[in-house]
Amino acid sequence: MNSKRKLVSMAIGLALSAGLAGPGYAAEETYIPLISKGFQHQFWQAVKAGAEQAGKDYKVKVTFEGPETEAMVDKQIDMLSAALAKKPKAIGFAALDSKAAIPLLKKAQAAKIPVVAFDSGVDSDIPVTTATTDNLAAAGLAADKMAELIGKAGEVAVVVHDQTSRTGIDRRDGFLNRMKSTYPNIKVVSVQYGGGDQLKSTEITKSILQANPNIKGIFGGNEGSAIGVLNGAKEMKRKIVIIGYDSGKQQKAAIADGSMAGAITQNPVGIGYKTVEAAVKALKGEKLPKIIDTGFFWYDKTNIKDPKIAAVLYD
């Protein structure tokens, strides 16, 4: 428990390094709900921990909820609607569908409720800022690592969670663009979408491997996708280079035993903390950058125990 607390506080330290000098905003029961993309991944639990810590530091009431799966766009819209009905002072929102929420966000704007986007942006200028990983750059780094590991030539594939959220689009495009611009001898033979679901991503991986006997590597664009790729390769008894995204017990174990080459980790505690901090700043009328870059890191067998990396890994 203590070591976990220590890691959370280290991650908050990283999150704060570019932030305020210290909490200085207190208000009577300022209510800031955060509507997340999901609840099932440990990633979201880490975002929640960061948001709750910021709530304590800035003396505001924070709630955090999301649908059971990241396929439930309608349920997320209902949650957003219910949160807005409580007339919060500000709201944090991680969009499952970057267009579907816009009518409700317009309502928030009309009611002068600042919207802070987190993790996944919205195709709109309504959010006052977005606290997120630079997913294009992070997936570009995943492509560089893949290229290095397969000798800068051969066939690879991508299994990503969706093509509707900003994270899904940017992780796919960041990887594809880097391969296209930098590695002419690498061919991306398939890009598939598994909804971030392990079982679906496993089946997709098996069909990619069946159709492409010479494939050298697959990039899994989030926790569920990466575990699906791992399981699909195991079931097909195929030795390929697997690069993941996010963290979690299974990915960390796979990296430790060598079945996954490495992964990109975000700073989820920092994302949660920065979202609430940005909402507080917006309420004070402070100017915010369009994007709050919360950082990303490559981790593999060689650095997984480094304290800086351990602080941003999540189970």
Domain range enclosing 161: 135-265
Q: Which of 226, 248, 265 is the last residue of a domain?
A: 265
Amino acid type, 137? A
Distance in angstroms (rounded) separating the CA atoms of residues 33 and 264: 28
Q: Say yes or no: 256 and 152 in one domain.
A: yes
Within a domain: residue 22?
Answer: yes
- Looking at residue 21, its pLDDT comes to 39
Q: Quick check: pTM over 0.85? A: no
Give the model's pLDDT for residue 11: 58
114 within a domain of the structure (yes/no): yes
What CATH number is attached to the domain comprising 162? 3.40.50.2300
Residue 229 shares a structural domain with residue 80 = no
Let me know whether 8 and 80 are in one domain. yes
The domain total for the chain is: 2
* Core vs surface per residue 30-50: b (16+ CB within 10 A) or e: bbbbbbbbbebbbbbbbbbbb
> Do the domain assignments include residue 60?
yes
pLDDT of residue 250: 95
257 within some domain: yes
Residue 108 and residue 153 in one domain: no
Asked, for residue 304, whether it belongs to a domain, the answer is no
Q: Are residues 274 and 236 in the same domain?
A: no
pLDDT at residue 15, rounded to an integer: 53
The answer on 142 and 59 residing in a single domain is no
Q: Could you tell me the strand order of the sheet in which 31-35 lies?
A: 61-65, 31-35, 91-93, 115-118, 129-132, 291-293
Examine the domain organization and report whether 122 and 144 are in the same domain.
Answer: no
281: in domain: yes
CA distance 26 to 57: 9
Q: Is there a single domain that holds both residue 101 and residue 148? A: no
Q: For residue 143, which of 160, 130, 166 has the smallest C-alpha distance?
A: 160
Asked whether residue 208 is domain-assigned, the answer is yes
* Pair 70, 53 in one domain: yes
Asked whether residue 302 is assigned to any structural domain, the reply reads no
- Residues 237, 141 within the same domain: yes
Q: Are residues 35 and 142 in the same domain?
A: no
Asked if residue 174 and residue 25 are part of one domain, the reply reads no
Task: Mark the ranges of the chain whose per-residue pLDDT is less than 50.
Answer: 17-27
